[in-house]
């Protein structure tokens, strides 16, 4: 159930049953010639909603802007600095903590968020540990689950796209967004069909190395039908990961 479609009384009642919550986190950044700017936020959001239904879990509002400084060479991309994103995550967790939530399952759609989200968890734990005269808060636990790292997601992307999955603007993630928003499906010429691979530093470096925005991928292979297959395969795995996380002592 989505938190923003609940009343406060419903949230209070749910807290009697479970102290867990899913927080979708994505990014708003270019995804090549046919991928939507919101790809990472959309994927995190639709997976979180489906997992919330499958596991009867509460789902917080999506953190739709992430750490994406390297994409700013392309129109429409937005970023939070790592320090800003850490502050956003910390304040969201602490707000929910006030009400009694203790297990925070971050469902992530963007590789560029991983280091910052992990650092935010360290900040949150440090804040609990550093309170003078107070015991640590043993119930508080945060975890990060990238949907694309689920075993079923890896297996299906290998099967459907092989090496053409690449690492940015992948056919898997583009397929999921085409399934979620068929009205926004784009057609574009991809030249070359498989984008170059490599590393990058800042936004100018990224644009120079990857002129159309993709890294190593061929999102021309994406389809709404594949997106449905990926969701159907991955949601049960993420739901059981969530259940195990909340149930762990």
Using CB under 5 A as the criterion, which residues of the chain lie in contact with Ni ion when the complex forms? 39-40, 173
Name which of 20 and 24 has its Cβ closer to Ni ion: 24
Q: Which two tokens stand for residue 42?
A: 């959309």
Cα of 185 vs its chain's centroid, Å: 21
Name which of 44 and 96 has its Cβ closer to Ni ion: 44
Name which of 39 and 69 has its Cβ closer to Ni ion: 39
Q: CB of residue 148 vs Ni ion: minimum separation in angstroms? A: 8
Q: CB of residue 80 vs Ni ion: minimum separation in angstroms? A: 16
Q: CB of residue 208 vs Ni ion: minimum separation in angstroms? A: 20
Q: CB of residue 168 vs Ni ion: minimum separation in angstroms? A: 6
Name which of 44 and 152 has its Cβ closer to Ni ion: 44
- What number of helices (H) and strands (E) belong to the chain? 8, 3
Name which of 143 and 167 has its Cβ closer to Ni ion: 167
Name the residue among 212, 223, 175, 166 with its Cα closest to residue 43. Answer: 175
DSSP state of 138: T
Name which of 42 and 140 has its Cβ closer to Ni ion: 42
3-state secondary structure of 29: coil
Distance, in Å, from the CA atom of 90 to the CA atom of 59, rounded to the nearest integer, reads 17
Name the residue among 176, 167, 233 with its Cα closest to residue 196. Answer: 167
Residue-wise burial string across 219-245, b where 16 or more C-beta atoms lie within 10 A, e elsewhere: bbbbbbebbebbbeebbebbbebbbeb
Q: CB of residue 77 vs Ni ion: minimum separation in angstroms? A: 11
Name which of 20 and 213 has its Cβ closer to Ni ion: 213
Distance, in Å, from the CA atom of 216 to the CA atom of 198, rounded to the nearest integer, reads 8
78 contacts: CB under 8 Å, gap ≥ 6:
28, 29, 65, 68
Which residue's Cβ has the minimum distance to Ni ion? 40
Q: Which two tokens stand for residue 18?
A: 């479970």
Q: CB of residue 110 vs Ni ion: minimum separation in angstroms? A: 6
Q: CB of residue 30 vs Ni ion: minimum separation in angstroms? A: 10
Sign of CA dihedral 197, 200, 203, 204: negative
């Amino acid at each position: 159930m989505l938190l923003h479609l609940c009343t406060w009384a419903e949230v209070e009642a749910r807290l009697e049953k479970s102290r867990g919550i899913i927080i979708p986190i994505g990014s708003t950044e270019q995804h090549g010639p046919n991928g939507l700017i919101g790809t990472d936020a959309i994927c995190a959001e639709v997976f979180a909603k489906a997992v919330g239904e499958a596991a009867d879990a509460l789902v917080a509002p999506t953190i739709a802007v992430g750490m994406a400084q390297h994409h700013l060479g392309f129109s429409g991309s937005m970023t939070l600095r790592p320090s800003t994103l850490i502050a956003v995550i910390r304040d969201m967790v602490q707000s929910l903590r006030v009400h009694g939530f203790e297990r925070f399952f971050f469902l992530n759609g963007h590789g560029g968020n991983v280091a910052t989200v992990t650092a935010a968890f360290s900040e949150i734990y440090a804040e609990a540990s550093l309170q003078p005269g107070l015991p640590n808060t043993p119930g508080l636990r945060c975890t990060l689950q990238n949907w694309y790292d689920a075993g079923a997601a890896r297996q299906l992307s290998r099967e459907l796209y092989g090496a053409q999955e690449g690492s940015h603007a992948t056919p898997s993630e583009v397929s999921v967004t085409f399934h979620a928003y068929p009205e926004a499906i784009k057609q574009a010429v991809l030249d070359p069909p498989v984008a170059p691979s490599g590393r990058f530093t800042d936004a100018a470096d990224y644009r120079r190395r990857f002129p159309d925005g993709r890294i190593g991928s061929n999102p021309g292979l994406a389809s709404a039908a594949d997106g449905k297959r990926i969701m159907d395969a991955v949601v049960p795995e993420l739901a059981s990961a969530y259940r195990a996380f909340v149930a762990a002592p």
